[in-house]
Amino acid sequence: MSNSPQNGTAQPVQTYLYHKIHKKLQWIRPVFYAIFESQDEAEDFCLVEVIHHHRSRVKLGSCLSSLPDVQFYTVGYGPITQESTTGVSTRIRLAELTRERCRVGLYMIWTKLSSVLESDDVVKIQWMRTVVRPLLFIVDNDVLDKIDEDDRKIYVSQHDFIKISFANGETFILDITPDQFGRSQWLYTEDEYNLLIMESFASTTVMDADAEIEHEEENTESVFMKMILDDTMKETEDIWANSGITWSNIAEQEEDKVMLLYDAFAELAMANFLDYF
């Protein structure tokens, strides 16, 4: 596997701790997909149009213009029908599903990470913000006309992620919405993330997590999604307890069993969301 950023997936350092944390946190993206998809379904609203644009058609800011291989798309929305997403690739669908949802995602899991990783000698968990290099970039389909009218350019927005430091000196980056940039890898070493994902000119800021949480709690939609996750996680932990499974020993289970448990977690999240409507 190539280490090129164009590949979309970096070769991880194969340490024991990396594999353990990867296994313990592998539920996050499927559960988020389930909640975000349920939200669209509940609102009878989905992605119905995707148009790929040649970069010459788009006025790109300095970051995007310096990336010759970035793919640019505009998207449109409409009522859900049987044919709504026909022809839309999984990569584009997941990119749109997670677009600009990094902060709400961190808000949803922030208080849960400490309990999930309680047995792993975590020293520090930090809410971070930077600018990343996308492999694809998506905007709403009316943005190009507005840009043409106002003579503006399109820039990559800032991106939030989590930095987790452990007592043995290892530090991992948890990026819970990499799909929005056309990437699939979500757990990195700090060096990998700095080299392959972060824009070279960008600074990285440690955010005040309490302030970010307070900001998100002004959004009723964010609070509702967090409530769904909290309830679903509690139900899931109770179900696991009947089989003697906890967050402290989940990584010791067989991979196939773990994935079945996480699939059930995601299905329960979707069911719980839709039950509220």
SS (H, E, C) the chain: CCCCHHHCCCCCCCCHHHHHHHHHHCCHHHHHHHHHHHHHHHCCCEEEEEEEECHHHCCECHHHHCCCCCEEEEEEEECCCCCCCCCCCHHHHHHHHCCCCHHHHHHHHHHHHHHHCCCCCEEEEEEEEECECCCEEEEECCHHHHHHHHCCCECCCCEEEEEEEECCCCEEEECCCHHHHCCCCCEEEHHHHHHHCECCCCCCEECCHHHHHHHHCCCHHHHHHHHHHHHHHHHHHHHHHCCCCCCCCHHHCCHHHHHHHHHHHHHHHHHHHHHCC
Predicted pLDDT of residue 151: 54
Domain ranges of the chain: 5-275
Q: Per-residue pLDDT tens for 160-171? A: 999 999 999 999
32 or 39, higher pLDDT: 32
Compute the chain's Rg from CA coordinates. 19
Mean pLDDT of 70-95: 77
**pLDDT per residue as tens digits for the range 169-183:** 999 999 999 999 999
54: left (phi over 0), alpha (psi -120 to 50) or beta: beta
pLDDT number for residue 150: 53
- Size of the chain, expressed as the number of residues it contains: 277
Task: Name the pTM for this structure.
Answer: 0.87
Share of the chain above pLDDT 70, in %: 81
- pLDDT over threshold 60, residue 85: no
